[in-house]
């Protein structure tokens, strides 16, 4: 089996990226991981999604046309530049310039990630494609600004930090005093990411059946609305199974189920490029890949957890959730950007040959 073809390419690349991410994670102090590192790395993720998903790493054309190594570096620089700007603005506004960054700003930035993914995947960049036509770069930046705008509005509507009034970081003026304890909308939004990614593995089955019966549902915005309803139903089902029925702590559910499953699906979609070698019809193909992602989720969560406990002895559970937050940061804020940069920006360079 060739190293530069799937599935061997994905296997080798996954080992390399996870090893690098864990090395970075254990080289940093937990305090730095949960404050400055989380702030900076999470702020880059939406722009990374625009480059990798909305643009397919084909735009801007001037960057896409560069030699592979230069291309990867240029895309990484673009991501870092936009991410740094977002991190600074969010730190000054939502975070009130408090050092080190507080859960106020870090939760806001995390919440912006599901907003970006929703606009890119279920709504397929609508309405920006309709308004801006064949201008992918403009569409990408308009989508990014809109995602942060939606995140800001919903953050102030939904998030309440009153539960942390006794914490040193708490400032009433920065608390949006929204409708729900902040952990709830944040966890639900990450549950939505799980649903979106699993639907990607299913090619959004059964929505194509609905589109066959009524073609309007195959076009935007009805497709996005129907997909959003399905996503909400999946989140509600997960919430019922793990939290309502089993009584799992919300933050534990967020990390053990949502973050870990997101990580597992990303390995399938990014490192194994959607696993084209699994040749089954839908929904069986999607179900097989979801099962594989779940196995990866359990395995990788256990690996990261064991390393965090061995290296730092972090305690899990309320009130600080130190272990859970370290796991979420290491898995998604560090490993995920490395995966996307390596697979999408650098196109698996130097593992993949480009002389074919």
DSSP 128-166: HHHHH-S-HHHHHHHHHHHHHHHHHHHHHHHEE-GGGTT
- The domain limits of the chain are 18-163+181-345
Between CA 312 and CA 299 the distance in angstroms is 20
Give 1's pLDDT tier (boundaries 50, 70, 90): low
Question: pLDDT tens digits, residue range 7-40?
Answer: 999 999 999 999 999 999 999 999 999 999 999 9
- How big is the CA angle at 300 (ends 298 and 305), to the nearest 5 degrees? 95
Question: pLDDT tens digits, residue range 288-319?
Answer: 999 999 999 999 999 999 999 999 999 988 88
CB count within 10 Å of CB 299 equals 12
Question: pLDDT tens digits, residue range 194-235?
Answer: 999 999 999 999 999 999 999 989 999 999 999 999 999 999
pTM of the complete model: 0.94
Does 340 have pLDDT greater than 90? Answer: yes
Exposed e or buried b per residue across 125-151, where buried means at least 16 C-beta atoms within 10 angstroms of its C-beta:
bbbbbeebeeebeebbbbbbeebbebb
Paired tokens of 206:
């059964």
Residue 190: φ, ψ to 5°: -70, -30
- What value does the mean pLDDT take over residues 314-325? 90
Specify the residue for token string 């130190």.
322
pLDDT at position 5, please? 84
Q: What is the signed CA dihedral for 331, 335, 340, 345, rounded to 10 degrees?
A: 160
- What value does the mean pLDDT take over residues 172-190? 97
pLDDT at position 356, please? 40
């Amino acid at each position: 089996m060739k190293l530069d073809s799937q599935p061997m390419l994905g296997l080798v690349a996954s080992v390399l990226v996870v090893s690098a991410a864990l090395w970075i994670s254990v080289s940093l102090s937990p305090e730095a991981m949960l404050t400055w590192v989380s702030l900076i790395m999470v702020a880059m993720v939406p722009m990374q999604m625009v480059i990798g998903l909305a643009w397919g790493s084909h735009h801007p054309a001037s960057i896409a046309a560069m030699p592979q190594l230069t291309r990867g570096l240029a895309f990484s620089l673009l991501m870092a530049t936009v991410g740094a700007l977002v991190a600074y603005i969010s730190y000054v506004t939502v975070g009130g310039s408090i050092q080190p960054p507080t859960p106020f700003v870090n939760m806001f930035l995390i919440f912006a990630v599901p907003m970006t993914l929703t606009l890119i995947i279920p709504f397929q960049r609508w309405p920006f494609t309709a308004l801006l036509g064949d201008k992918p770069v403009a569409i990408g930046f308009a989508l990014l600004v809109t995602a942060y705008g939606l995140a800001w509005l919903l953050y102030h509507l939904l998030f309440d930090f009153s539960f942390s009034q006794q914490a040193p970081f708490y400032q009433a003026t920065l608390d949006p005093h929204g409708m729900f304890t902040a952990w709830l909308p944040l966890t639900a939004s990450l549950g939505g990411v799980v649903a979106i990614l699993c639907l990607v593995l299913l090619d959004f089955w059964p929505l194509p059946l609905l589109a066959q019966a009524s073609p309007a549902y195959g076009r935007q915005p009805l497709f996005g609305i129907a997909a959003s309803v399905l996503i909400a139903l999946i989140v509600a089902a997960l919430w019922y199974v793990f939290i309502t029925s089993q009584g799992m702590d919300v933050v534990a559910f967020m990390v053990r189920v949502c973050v870990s499953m997101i990580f597992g699906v990303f390995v399938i979609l990014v490192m194994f490029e959607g696993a084209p070698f699994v040749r089954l019809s839908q929904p069986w193909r999607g179900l097989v890949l979801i099962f594989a992602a779940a196995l990866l989720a359990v395995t990788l969560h256990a690996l990261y957890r064991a390393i965090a406990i061995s290296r730092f002895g972090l305690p899990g559970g309320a009130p600080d959730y130190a272990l859970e937050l370290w796991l979420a940061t290491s898995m998604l804020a560090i490993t995920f950007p490395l995966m996307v940069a390596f697979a999408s920006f650098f196109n698996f360079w130097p593992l993949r040959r480009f002389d074919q």
